[in-house]
Structure 1
Amino acid sequence: MSSGKPGRSEQWRKYLEDSAHRLALAESQAGRLQSESGSREALESLQSIFHDFAGSGALYGLPEVSALGGEGEYLCTTVGLSERPATLAEVDQVATLIRRLRTVFQRVMTGPEGPRPPADAPRSTPLLLLAGSPSPERSAMADFLLKRGLQVEGLDGFRAAVERFRAGLPDLLATEVSLPDGTGFDLVRRFREIEGERSIPVLLLGAPELFHDKVEAIACGADGFLPSPVDPSTLFRKFRILLGRRRAASGRVLAVEDDPSQAAFLETTLKAGGYQVRMVTEPMAFEREIHAFRPELILMDVLLPGVSGYDLVRFLRQEEGFSTVPVVFLTTEGRRRAQIRGAEAGGDDYLVKPVTPEDLLTTVKSRLIRYRSLQEMMDRDELTGLLAHTPFLQQARLCLSRFTRRQVPYALVLVEIDGMEARTREAGARARDVLIQGLAKYLQRKVRQTDVMGRYGDQCLALVLEHLSPTDAVRLLDRLQTEFSQMDWPVETDRRVRASFSAGAAMASPSMKTLKAWLDAASGALKSARLQGGGRVALAPPTEAPPG
């Protein structure tokens, strides 16, 4: 009996056929866009086609196809968000991308050995298999995760999932507890049997509240569970943490060791474990190397020429950006003394020499997992899942720097829900949380993945929108405000309310020498919008660069 698993050559042949059909459709829609520059249907069709190429090229050993598809998808998304007809230059750009895609496929087809399937290559983006009953909620969850860089494949039940496992394992698995033809518990057990080792992150969705069932969820081989209703942003954050654990063996480790034989042992062992390694044999080079390498973990010998490892770590903790980087001391001191002195200096762990390769790799991996989990929690606002205040400002500063270097158009937007204080007095803090969280999720669905979003203040969200003109930015924000104001939000068990928001936008300009100046301009525009009565969008007036 056939296993039902298609051969790689068959998959490759089908991919080339599908790509030929997509290119023909893309050329047809590009011609339509040229004759009807305002055709939303043609633009959306092209966006979908480019999206397919972006997601599939690298899977078949054609990274150039993914790059061109991603560029086309971004272009179509930007034009779509601006709600204006495509310009002649943009139409020409679309046509050029399609021609370049066709050239790539022609090169594959007419190569000296014909259209042979490429060798297996690792996926460029993680693949999530989502097992359960077909439903609008599952489709919405898949759309949410797709926008955040995951490939998502839905599986309609136990048997369909097992067949898919045999065809190839994913990077992530999520399964509902109740399946049409079985249980999620049994599916996870079967998955672990096929996998052969417990390394791929697995989550159970809609797990019952009983303690016994939670224990069974872990016992069957799942890494965690999420109760109903499952929030897509919570699922995404959970998987990011679990993927971070899988990637722990690819972290950057800086080792400070002056003894040549010990340094060679550390470097050889860590590289064999899959880590990027930077050795520092001269303590005076420590400051330069940490800023150049940006390590995620530091191994620190205690006895160094001219200075102690404890002193270097005390210095490290004063350097901006390194206060939480884990440090593991390497020492010949007694365990109790090493533990006390290391903790006093700001260390996280210690290893007593001579260190075995197993102890070294185990300690490094566990400390990296904890560090990345901590970074994830620190970078994200707990209520909204957006970037927290400081990480958002760091990203905004990078955008301003890109504008200064390359003149890339950026709009900084501050958004506040109108009348929040009155709503909080009337319905309590829950109303505030529901509305802020609702606004954050709504904006996440509407803006591009490349745009930056964060929680700027207790009641204020912030965005940095890329490649939009002032007119396009205001038009987009006006549309979003209108849509949001027509949505109902459950602030109490039996009560739903509607809300509007005010937004202030400021375009990056040559006069914006600092992030503070950019933020001040957006804050002034937000204040202007609120003074107009709320539910408005205001754009900061352009500022001139100071005379040089």
Structure 2
Amino acid sequence: MADGASELQAQLKLLSDAFAQRLHDDLPALGHLAEQLANSPGQPEQLRLLQALHEQLHRLAGAAGTFGFVRLGQQVHELERQTEHWQQYLSQAQPLLSDFIASVQNLAGQRFSQEQEVADYQSHIPAPQPHHADRLIYILEAQPALGDYIRLTLGNFGYRTAHFSTLQALDAAVSLERPDALILDLELPASQGSALDYASQLQQRLAQPLPLLVISNRSDFATQLQAVRAGAEGFFNKPLDIAQLENSLEGCFAQQHGEPYRVLIIDDDRELAKRYSLILRSAHMQVEMLHEPDNIFSCMHNFNPEVILLDVSMPGCTGPELAQIIRLNDDWLRVPIVYLSAETDITRQMNALIKAGDDFVTKPISDHALVAAVFSRAQRARQLSQALARDSLTGLLKHADIKEQVAIEQARALRSGKPASVAMLDIDFFKKVNDSYGHAAGDSVIRALANLLRQRLRRIDSLGRYGGEEFLLVLPDCTAEQARRILDEIRQRFADLQFVAGEQHFSVTLSVGIASTAEYPGPTDALLEQADRALYSAKNSGRNCVV
């Protein structure tokens, strides 16, 4: 993997080197044009030079974006815009032309470091986020009891937390250590000012905005609109459902960190496809390239892309025709298809979109714009796919899918000789929770356990809702004793969680049964049956234990 990353960076560097070498000619040429403009005898000659300057700036702006020279691209693009202004208003603002000329000459005299430019480009790509246990959450809550309740409960979920009763204390803490997210209660004493005004000002001060969750007694449109404008990603009314709040918090972080998005590039221009592939891979995406459309079926089945970048004009089969072929398969209806083309005619773009496309991106496109376009489409596609394929309440795998994972991991364990464990979890006296506190409270309990499992287990573990209040876990490369230790810790953390139903607070426990492929290497059903027997034994032993 390290060798592959090194090779990728080497190829990107070759492309950047070639562009950097080109700058040795292009930037002095801009300076020469600016000097001619400064010494031009009259307005007609100035307009001619401005046109020549605009053409060179336009060409350089597109190339700079393509090859990752972000800072250069931004400066050139701004000068290009100013050139258009001077071409239109030269006669009205003639005395100020010297300032513009000085700006062009300043650009021409700069030296752009390839290493710095690549670093600037990569700074636009979201960096991998820390594990949830390293995430710091700041809570602004004027009511001490509620603030401590949120702090302690999120602590049980594995977050680092700090509670503040005033905006002044919160702001002092932010200046010392930036949190990973903010939870703000809008109901503060009037003397403190507006929490949303503070949040808006804080987000503007930060280089990257923080995930913001808002708590309020009000739920009217105006309040929620103000919250959204301040950057809120979650809005919660009192009495607070802490499991729902934590679920939203985890969702904010899940958008920043997850498995690489899978992107399929279909283009007969191999060099251009390679360029796009290098940029998307440098943005931590998994990319496959397809140059022959008739191989589409095997590629779709084997790679299972989340986004398709498709050239419009290809010999033998156009992009819209291939998009229609893809759409004939129901399994691929949810995969976004983004056309990439130099076509600028709106009518032709619309005709292509009508034939099975989802978006149209015009070439040339800067690296940053390409990453942003693909990232946003892939993110939405994954959210939709998970919404359809996973349990709606917990976000975990459904019954059939988690059972399939048991079979897959059992077969892998037999091949590798490494043990895997299967665990069944059941919430104790769950019917009593529903009867005493209502089904909404019961849903909150189920969601809280799902969140806790997702956070405390590894990314290679598979988690599913087996039915009702029962969960099934598949733990690769894990002995029964190792599984017992981690699940006993989860059992204790779950028992510490406090739930709210109206004015009532309550807690819940769970029971766990574990079976290992080391003891039960037989059929999948036999392994599941043994885990179920262990769970039954845990319940007979008084519940709230692991067997």
User: What TM-score results when the alignment is normalised by the length of structure 2?
Assistant: 0.56
In structure 2, list runs of 5 or more residues that go unmatched: 1-126
Distance 1:443 1:285 in 2: 40
**1:163 matches 2:169:** no
* Corresponding position of 1:185: 196
1:400 alignment partner, SS class: helix
User: Which residue number in structure 1 is paired with residue 119 of structure 2?
Assistant: none
CA contact 2:484–2:546 (8 Å) conserved in 1: no
SS, match of residue 218 in structure 2: coil
Give the whole-Å Cα distance in 2 for the aligned partners of 1:514 and 1:306. Answer: 49
Judged with a 3 Å threshold, the aligned counterparts in structure 2 of structure 1 residues 417 and 168 are, in CA distance, closer, same or farther, namely closer
**SS, match of residue 178 in structure 1:** coil
Who is 2:515 aligned against? 506
1:518 aligns with 2:527: yes
- 2:153–2:498: 8 Å Cα contact kept in structure 1? no
Contact 2:138 2:179 survives alignment (8 Å): no
Assess if the C-alpha contact under 8 Å between 2:425 and 2:470 holds in 1. yes
For residue 132 of structure 1, the aligned residue among 136, 140, 155 is: 140
- Contact 1:384/1:437 (<8 A) preserved: no
Partner of 2:232: helix, strand, or coil?
A: coil
Q: How far has the Cα of 1:323 moved from its partner?
A: 5.7
Listed as ranges, the matches of 1:299-318 within 5 Å are 299-307=309-317, 309=319
Q: Which residue identity does 1:205 align to in structure 2?
A: I
One-letter identity of the residue aligned with 1:461: F
- Greater CA drift, 205-214 or 268-277: 268-277
**Counterpart for residue 418 of structure 2:** 407
* 1:376-424 deviation line (CA, Å, top 9, x unaligned): 534653434655445544654565356432533514215366695x998
Matched to 1:227, the amino acid is: N
Aligned partner of residue 279 in structure 1, secondary structure? strand
1:298 aligned partner: 308
Which of 373, 391, 397 is the matching residue for 2:383?
373
Shift of 1:435: 3.9
The answer (yes or no) to whether the contact 1:380–1:386 under 8 Å persists in 2 is yes
What's the counterpart of residue 105 of structure 1?
none
Counterpart contact for 1:169–1:195, Cα < 8 Å: no
Equivalent position of 2:353 in the other structure: 339
Matched residue count? 405
Structure 1 CA distance for aligned equivalents of residues 491 and 259 of structure 2: 42
Contact 1:283/1:305 (<8 A) preserved? no
Structure 1 counterpart of 2:292, from 282, 288, 294:
282
Q: What SS does the aligned partner of 2:224 have? A: helix
1:225 has 2:235 as partner:
yes
Which entry has the higher C-alpha Rg, 1 or 2?
A: 2
User: What aligned pairs does 1:50-449 form with structure 2 within 5 A after superposition?
Assistant: 124-125=130-131, 127-133=135-141, 135=144, 137-139=146-148, 141-142=150-151, 145=154, 150-179=159-188, 181-195=192-206, 199-206=209-216, 208-246=218-256, 251-260=261-270, 262-263=272-273, 266-267=276-277, 270=280, 277-283=287-293, 286=296, 295-307=305-317, 309=319, 324-330=334-340, 334-342=348-356, 347=357, 349-351=358-360, 354=363, 356-357=365-366, 360=370, 363-378=373-388, 381-384=391-394, 386-389=396-399, 392-393=402-403, 396-397=406-407, 399-400=409-410, 403-404=413-414, 405-415=416-426, 420=431, 431=438, 434-435=441-442, 437-438=444-445, 441=448, 448-449=456-457
Whether the aligned pair in 2 keeps the contact of 1:254 and 1:297 (CA below 8 Å) is yes
Q: What fraction of aligned residue pairs are identical, expressed as a percent?
A: 24
Which residue in the other structure is 1:542 paired with? none
In structure 2, relative to structure 1, the CA distance for the partners of 1:299 and 1:210 (3 Å cut) is same
* Change in 2 beyond 3 A, CA 1:391/1:257: same
C-alpha distance 472-283 of structure 1, shift in aligned 2 (>3 A): closer
State how far apart, in whole Å, the 2-side matches of 1:140 and 1:445 are. 17
Tell me which amino acid in the other structure corresponds to 1:217.
A
Deviations 1:308-355 (A, max 9, x none): 54665567678898663322234658234323321xxxx5x1316546
The CA distance in 2 between the partners of 1:369 and 1:471, in whole Å, is 34
1:335 counterpart letter in structure 2: Q
Q: CA deviation at 1:283?
A: 3.4
TM-score by length of 1: 0.56
Could you tell me how far apart the structure 2 residues matched to 1:504 and 1:257 are? Answer: 52
The residue identity in structure 2 corresponding to 1:338 is: A
Shift of 1:191: 0.8
CA contact (8 A) 2:310 2:338 kept: yes
Deviation at 1:216, TM superposition (A): 2.0
Distance 1:157 1:163 in 2: 10
For the 8 Å contact 2:157–2:452, the answer to whether it is kept is no
Separation in 2, partners of 1:234, 1:213: 20
Gaps of 5+ in 1: 1-120, 540-548
**Retained in 2: the 8 A contact 1:248–1:365?**
no
In the alignment, the residues of structure 2 paired with residue 353 and residue 472 of structure 1 have an alpha-carbon distance, to the nearest angstrom, of 52
Q: Which amino acid aligns with 2:448?
A: K
Q: Which position in structure 2 is the counterpart of 1:18? A: none
Distance 1:128 1:488 in 2: 20
Question: Relative contact order, CA 8 A, sep 6+: which one is greater?
Answer: 2
Instruction: Decide whether the 8 Å contact of 1:207 with 1:214 is kept in 2.
Output: no
Deviation at 1:256, TM superposition (A): 0.8
- 1:258 offset after TM fit, Å? 0.6
